[in-house]
Structure formats: C-alpha cells, structure tokens
Amino acid sequence: MNRGNRQFIRRAALVAPVSVGLFIAGCGDDGGRDSATAGGSLGAVTTASPGDPADVSSSSTTGEAPEPASTGPEGASTGSSGDPGEPEEAPAGGEEPDDSGPKFDLGDSPAPGEPQADKPCVKIDLLFVVDNSSSMKQEQVNLVASFPTFVSEIQQELADAESLHLGVVTTDDYEHNEPGCADTLGALVTQTTGAKGASDAECGPFVSGHRFMTEADDLPTRFTCAAQVGIDGSGDEMPIDAALAALGPELAGPGGCNEQFVREDALLVLVLITDEEEEGSAGDPPQWFEAITGLKGGVESNVVVLSLIGPKDPACEDAAEVGERLIAFTELFTYGSVGQICAENYQMFFHEAIAGIAEACDGFVPPG
C-alpha cells in the first residue's frame, strides 16, 4: 500500500460523519445505467446543469464561440481575448458583473529568477483523461457534477498556487474536436459538436488564447462543456497513451494542439476516468510509470495520479471491469489514489485527494 492510500484510509475514518450526499452503488450494465445527475456538494460553487452548459455555444444554434467576460490576473476584467487593457462595460442598471466561480488567489507573481525556496509549487497542470466509450454517459455526468467542489477545494487548500492549467482529453483520437486537432490522440478538447451524448458545443475560446483553461476562465461552465465528451468513442480505450501524448513534446510545440499546456516547473495532477481495463496502450505499468515520471524530470513525487476506475471491490463487479493494470500503475506513485468509477458521485474521492495534492505541492522539487 502506498503512502497516498495509507493517508486515504486514515482520513476516511475522520471524515466519515461528514454529510456530502455520497452513496456508493453499482452503475448497472452498459445499456442500463441510471442517468440521474449525482447530487450533493461540499462547497458553495455551482455549476451549469450537465448537458446544458451555460454561456457555451451549441452547435445547433449559431455555431459561434462565446466571448465570456472573465477575471484575469490582478483582478483585471478581460474579454475572450484575455487582454486586460480595456475593461468591459458594466451591465445596464448599475449591476456589478457576475464574478462567481472559483478563482485562484493569484497574488503577486515573483520576478523572473526570484528564488522560491520559501514557497511550495505555485503552478499546477491538471489533466483529465475521460473515457468516451459507449458505457460512460453517467460517469461523465457524475464527473462534471463533482468538479466545482474539487476545484474550489484546490483553491482553498493550495493558497500559494498562483496558476492553473486545466485540460481534458479522451481515451481515443477524438473525431469531434476542433478542426486541425480532430482525430489526434492526446489533443486537448475544445469542442464536442456532433458527439453522441456530449455537451454538443464549442467550449472555448478560453482566456489563455490556447486550448487549455486557466483560473481566469469560468471553470465549472467550461469544464462541464469539455468533459462531457460523449459516448461514441472507441471501445479500445488507451488512457495511458492518451495521457503521454497530451503531456509529451509532440503536441507542445509552436502551433501544436497543446501548445504551452505543460510546464516544467508545475505540479502535475493526472486524473484517469474509465470503466475498462487498460489494454489498448503499449507497455506495462512500470513502463508507464517511468514514462510519466520522465516527463517531470524523473521526480515521481511531482506527480499526483487519481484513478477513477474499476477497483478490486464487489460494489463495482457488475458495472466496471477491474482495472488491474491501472491499479498497479497508480499505486507506484507516492501520491496515487484509486476510486470507484461506479460511485454515485465522486465528491468524496476528490475531497480525500486534496490532502495528497497539498502534500505533493508542499514537497515539490523544482526542476534542476
């Protein structure tokens, strides 16, 4: 049992009385899963209804990308371009713009070259790898329902985190993605138009001007759009290959689908969500571990892996395939945690993961 799982057991004993609306139940077979939205929330952050994200352009209407006003660094009001130079006009009637939603405490960014020995990590790269095969409709609903509390708790617990990069990829080469990055394994999702069971929308533009979200975006709304990738993807899931492609150098270059997403000096939080065993990716768990760790300079403690999969638990035996190889991969990491993909919602799993993320951040080893 790794360090993260030992901590999970201890913390679970402490937080068991907390009422968070979590019920563990089987999800049924591929054709008969409950489609009700998971309930319960640990925080005050709200999200758009799954499947109907607010402020996101549907492909069935104009097809134009939205231009949301967002709060950028130093509190500057920005439009979709992210240019803080010209603040937008206040709404009619003197009402203040809506500034709800989780925002990181950006603080004062350090000057270039300023030593950071007195700080933990100040940057977090958060990648969700979402299975888009035919059995994943309810799991995607559960994910977007649990996300606002998760990101809000990251904001609260990691007070020194000044910058978040957040992206979503699928377990196949997603054909519904933005032209130029469609049919590309590991390309960050920016639209889901035409996908069965998806948000069916253009999820950007994002404030960064790139294909990933940041703390300046309305994260619950944008994530709700991007994470509901639909259920018409390949049944030969490749979550590890998708993660390696998303985090690797091939898509990161100038003009690449994932340009500027991955940062050498950021803590990596990798979230895997699938109800199948990993049989599509090349290699085995130790090789996957070495490959992911290699992307972070060989420092495995600079990586947090959260796997919502089929665990060795009778509660999921009729709803998910036991992910033996994914379990082995996850448990190789100091900060690796396995949760039940068949849980009615994922709030407790994400809540318990926050302590591990905070500890990894406190012990972050800057690149040499």
Say if strands 267-273 and 123-130 run parallel, antiparallel, or are unpaired: parallel
Strand, coil or helix: 268: strand
Q: Where are the alpha helices (DSSP H) in 137-232?
A: 137-157, 219-227
DSSP state of 262: -
pLDDT, tens digit, 9 for 90 and up, residues 233-278 = 999 999 999 999 999 999 999 999 999 999 999 999 999 999 999 9
| Residue of 225, 297, 247, 240 lying closest to 66 (CA atoms) | 225
Q: What are phi and psi of 319, to 5 degrees?
A: -115, -20
Strand, coil or helix: 4: helix
pLDDT, tens digit, 9 for 90 and up, residues 292-324 = 999 999 999 999 999 999 988 777 878 899 999
Residue 126: strand pairing partners: 166, 269
Q: What is the pLDDT of residue 119?
A: 65
H-helix or E-strand containing 347? helix 347-362
* pTM to 2 decimal places: 0.72
Q: What is the pLDDT of residue 109?
A: 40
pLDDT, tens digit, 9 for 90 and up, residues 164-184 = 999 999 999 999 999 999 999
Q: What is the pLDDT of residue 23?
A: 32
Q: From the CB of residue 332, how many other CB atoms can be counted at a distance below 10 Å?
A: 17
Residue 340: strand pairing partners: 309
Residue 24 scores a pLDDT above 60: no
CA 49/CA 37 separation, integer angstroms: 9
Residues 149, 152, 153, CA angle at the centre, nearest 5°? 85
Where does residue 345 fall: left (phi above 0), alpha (psi -120 to 50 degrees), or beta otherwise? beta
- Both tokens assigned to 165: 């990069």
H-helix or E-strand containing 3? helix 3-15
Q: From the CB of residue 46, how many other CB atoms can be counted at a distance below 10 Å?
A: 11
Where does residue 40 fall: left (phi above 0), alpha (psi -120 to 50 degrees), or beta otherwise? left
More confident position, 158 or 349: 349
CA 231/CA 241 separation, integer angstroms: 19
pLDDT, tens digit, 9 for 90 and up, residues 83-140 = 444 444 444 444 444 444 444 544 444 444 444 445 679 999 999 999 999 999 999 9
- Both tokens assigned to 314: 């009778």
- In words, the CATH class of domain 124-368 is alpha beta
